[in-house]
């Protein structure tokens, strides 16, 4: 498609020329997760010479790395997968409403095979840097193994929760026991049996792994900094009949996802909590508590996420649930969030989480009451005592949204490093590009993604593919955006979060889980339908806000 494709000349190629050809691409995509695989498929289908790089030894992205016990979807399995391929929809069978990590990893491997993606995927390859060459209008991409590639387009599909972060507590190198991060979990089986284990972190990953550790460990210490509003997942098996129904109604499911703000089959109720009596309201909360997945968060009364007192009524309901499930009243109170209301942060889903704290082999340690001061040879030292441990599990989350992009050391025009450009928070236009970083696209990057990620990134994948083809077909060498367009998008993004209950939360969506990180809203709160409309409008207006250079 572009001038960098294989030569049609009949001259015999020298080994050097072949090598050169092997390292020069129309597009390089980074990330073999659900979004990167889709992007590769589209570009491959369009006839481009494209390579996908991924640090893992297999495809799957977050579903490759997060192989800890208990890792599973919090979106309905069939709402998360690819809808664009009838073949995939008809041939794949989900076994659970919320599939576990092994099944999801199998699905993405199945998709990579079925879509014929393997020949263009290079695994075990971590990008070390990407630098824009202004003279040649290409990106020079280097890998940690020392390979150097040239590519016209550089596309990051690296996920928003994929750059693991650790506590700044010193001394981990002194610790002599085993330690793991949930997002870097080994393929080999990890045994908790008979061990003294600490799990640090009580977000989604902590909440999912804790019951598994509690089952086998001699003793489990749960190090909690901030309690979360955690609700039951209420998972269930998908029968053959149900799977047939899912296939038969797949288009309707897809349409429900497209029209919902969260890109899921759930939409908020058409009612306010004040439209009913407090008793009726609580009865509805009870139904939602028994309902599957994120129904409590995404299918609740409309005012729960917007109105402080409506939100408080749900918090009171959920606090009582915790009190009813945890025997020790002191422990129960420690597990009840006081710094945020339900939905201000993405709520983790649980299966038997609260009951764990009734087990004699489990201790809840609040790092607010007794901060961790260091890791020691034997375990963790807090301001109160030393905890001797055989294993530490870090469920401490991520440098969210931008971390996996900036860790690639991207340098744009004028030698501008992207991490410096984003020091005060990400700057993008439509979450797709940044000024002075020509031909660099983000799919599933900052200021665009929220909700069920594949439902929004599939739109971006199509948009980016069409934009790339537009550049090539018109003989342009570069597409970029402007700082004015970025300013406009930043204002729109910030306007969308202003006045909401989420605005005041201390969450990864604002980068506030990483010490020292400047607070900036990293996602897009306008809802997926509005985002889709915005990027379609820009394209229909002749790529308004984008600049094309010959």
Query: Using CB under 6 A, which residues numbered 6 to 65 contact ligand NA7?
Result: none
- Pick between residue 70 and residue 412 the one whose CB is nearest to ligand NA7: 70
**225 touches ligand NA7 (CB under 6 A):** yes
**201 touches ligand NA7 (CB under 6 A):** yes
Question: Cα separation of 254 and 176, whole Å?
Answer: 50
Helix (H), strand (E), coil (C) string for 261-316: CCCCCCCCCCCCHHHCCHHHHHHHHHHHHHCCCCHHHHCCCHHHHCCHHHHHHHHH
Q: Where are the alpha helices (DSSP H) in 326-394?
A: 329-334, 353-356
**161 touches ligand NA7 (CB under 6 A):** yes
Contact 446, 523 (CB under 8 A): yes
Contact 375, 180 (CB under 8 A): no
Task: Give min distance, CB of 200 to ligand NA7, in A.
Answer: 5
How are beta strands 148-156 and 24-30 bridged, if at all?
parallel
Contact 172, 375 (CB under 8 A): yes
- Candidates 5, 56, 167, 352: give the one binding ligand NA7 (CB under 6 A): 167
Task: Give min distance, CB of 397 to ligand NA7, in A.
Answer: 3
Stretch touching ligand NA7 by CB under 6 A, among 142-150, 282-290, 320-328, 393-401: 393-401
**71 touches ligand NA7 (CB under 6 A):** no
CB atoms within 10 A of CB 467: 22
Question: Cα separation of 2 and 484, whole Å?
Answer: 30
CB atoms within 10 A of CB 261: 18
**337 touches ligand NA7 (CB under 6 A):** no
Contact 313, 320 (CB under 8 A): no
Task: Give min distance, CB of 93 to ligand NA7, in A.
Answer: 24
**204 touches ligand NA7 (CB under 6 A):** yes
Contact 269, 305 (CB under 8 A): no
**480 touches ligand NA7 (CB under 6 A):** no
**395 touches ligand NA7 (CB under 6 A):** yes
- Pick between residue 223 and residue 441 the one whose CB is nearest to ligand NA7: 223
Contact 463, 537 (CB under 8 A): no
Stretch touching ligand NA7 by CB under 6 A, among 18-26, 201-209, 377-385, 540-548: 201-209
- Pick between residue 204 and residue 313 the one whose CB is nearest to ligand NA7: 204
Task: Give min distance, CB of 18 to ligand NA7, in A.
Answer: 43
- Pick between residue 24 and residue 396 the one whose CB is nearest to ligand NA7: 396
Task: Give min distance, CB of 347 to ligand NA7, in A.
Answer: 9
Stretch touching ligand NA7 by CB under 6 A, among 85-93, 114-122, 197-205, 459-467: 197-205
Stretch touching ligand NA7 by CB under 6 A, among 14-22, 195-203, 482-490, 517-525: 195-203
Stretch touching ligand NA7 by CB under 6 A, among 188-196, 237-245, 311-319, 395-403: 395-403
- Pick between residue 284 and residue 513 the one whose CB is nearest to ligand NA7: 513
- Candidates 305, 367, 460, 481: give the one binding ligand NA7 (CB under 6 A): 367
- Candidates 39, 77, 226, 382: give the one binding ligand NA7 (CB under 6 A): 226
Contact 358, 326 (CB under 8 A): yes
Residue facing ligand NA7 at closest CB distance: 203
**206 touches ligand NA7 (CB under 6 A):** yes
CA distances from 364 to 326, 333, 358 (A): 12, 11, 10
3-state secondary structure of 325: helix
Site string for ligand NA7, 261-300 (x = CB under 6 A): ----------------------------------------
Length of the chain: 550
Contact 382, 233 (CB under 8 A): no
Contact 118, 370 (CB under 8 A): no
Query: Using CB under 6 A, which residues numbered 497 to 536 contact ligand NA7?
Result: 508, 513
Q: Phi/psi zone of residue 523: left (φ > 0), alpha (ψ -120 to 50 degrees), beta?
A: beta
CB atoms within 10 A of CB 506: 15
Q: What is the DSSP letter of 376?
A: -
Question: Cα separation of 469 and 234, whole Å?
Answer: 45
Task: Give min distance, CB of 7 to ligand NA7, in A.
Answer: 46
- Pick between residue 40 and residue 297 the one whose CB is nearest to ligand NA7: 297
Question: For residue 111, with 0-12 CB atoms within 10 Å meaning exposed, 13-18 middle and 19 or more buried, which class applies?
Answer: buried
- Candidates 203, 211, 412, 425: give the one binding ligand NA7 (CB under 6 A): 203
Stretch touching ligand NA7 by CB under 6 A, among 95-103, 151-159, 222-230, 454-462: 222-230
**323 touches ligand NA7 (CB under 6 A):** no
- Pick between residue 202 and residue 284 the one whose CB is nearest to ligand NA7: 202
Residues in touch with ligand NA7 (CB under 6 A): 161, 167, 182, 200-206, 223, 225-226, 346, 367, 395-397, 508, 513
């Amino acid at each position: 498609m572009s001038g960098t494709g294989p030569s049609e000349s009949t001259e015999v190629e020298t080994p050097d020329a072949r090598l050169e050809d092997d390292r020069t691409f129309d597009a390089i995509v980074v990330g073999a997760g659900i979004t990167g695989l889709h992007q590769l498929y589209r570009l491959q289908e369009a006839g481009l010479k494209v390579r996908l790089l991924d640090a893992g030894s297999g495809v799957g992205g977050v579903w490759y790395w997060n192989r800890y016990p208990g890792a599973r979807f919090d979106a309905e399995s069939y709402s998360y997968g690819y809808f664009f391929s009838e073949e995939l929809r008809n041939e794949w069978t989900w076994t659970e409403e919320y599939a576990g990590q092994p099944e999801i990893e199998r699905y993405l491997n199945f998709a990579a095979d079925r879509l014929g993606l393997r020949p263009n995927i290079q695994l075990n390859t971590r990008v070390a840097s990407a630098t824009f060459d202004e003279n040649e209008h290409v990106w020079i991409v280097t890998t940690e193994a020392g390979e150097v590639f040239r590519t016209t387009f550089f596309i990051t599909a690296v996920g928003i929760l994929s750059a693991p972060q650790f506590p700044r507590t010193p001394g981990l190198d002194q610790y002599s026991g085993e330690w793991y991060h949930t997002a870097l979990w080994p393929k080999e089986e990890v045994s908790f049996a008979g061990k003294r284990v600490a799990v640090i972190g009580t977000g989604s990953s902590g909440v999912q792994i804790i019951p598994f550790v509690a089952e086998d460990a001699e003793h489990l210490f749960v190090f909690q900094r901030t309690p979360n509003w955690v609700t039951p997942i209420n998972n269930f098996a998908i029968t053959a009949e149900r799977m047939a129904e899912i296939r038969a109604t797949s288009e309707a499911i897809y349409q429900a996802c497209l029209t919902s703000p969260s890109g899921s089959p759930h939409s908020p109720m058409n009612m306010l909590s004040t439209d009913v009596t407090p008793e009726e309201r609580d009865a509805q909360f009870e139904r939602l508590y028994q309902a599957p997945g994120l129904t409590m968060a995404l299918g609740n009364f409309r005012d729960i996420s917007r109105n402080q007192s409506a939100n408080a009524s749900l918090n009171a309901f959920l606090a009582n649930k915790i009190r009813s499930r945890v025997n020790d009243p002191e422990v129960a109170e420690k597990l009840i969030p006081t710094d945020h209301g339900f939905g201000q942060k993405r709520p983790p889903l649980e299966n038997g989480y609260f009951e764990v704290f009734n087990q004699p082999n489990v201790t809840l340690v609040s790092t607010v009451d007794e901060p961790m001061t260091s890791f020691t040879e034997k375990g963790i030292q807090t301001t109160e005592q030393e905890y001797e441990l055989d294993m530490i599990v870090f469920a401490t989350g991520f440098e969210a949204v931008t971390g996996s992009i900036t860790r690639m050391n991207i340098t744009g025009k004028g030698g501008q490093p992207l991490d410096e450009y984003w020091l005060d928070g990400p700057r993008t236009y439509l979450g797709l590009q940044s000024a002075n970083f020509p031909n660099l696209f983000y799919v599933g990057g900052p200021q665009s993604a929220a909700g069920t990620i594949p439902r929004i990134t599939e739109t971006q994948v199509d948009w980016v593919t069409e934009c790339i083809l537009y550049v090539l077909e018109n003989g342009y060498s570069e597409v970029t955006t402007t700082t004015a367009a970025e300013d406009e998008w930043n204002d729109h993004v910030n306007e969308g979060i202003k006045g909401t209950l989420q605005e005041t939360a201390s969450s990864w969506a604002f980068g506030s889980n990483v010490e020292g990180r400047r607070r900036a809203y990293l996602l897009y709160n306008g809802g997926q339908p509005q985002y889709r409309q915005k990027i379609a409008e820009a394209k229909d207006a002749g790529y308004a806000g984008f600049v094309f250079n010959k």
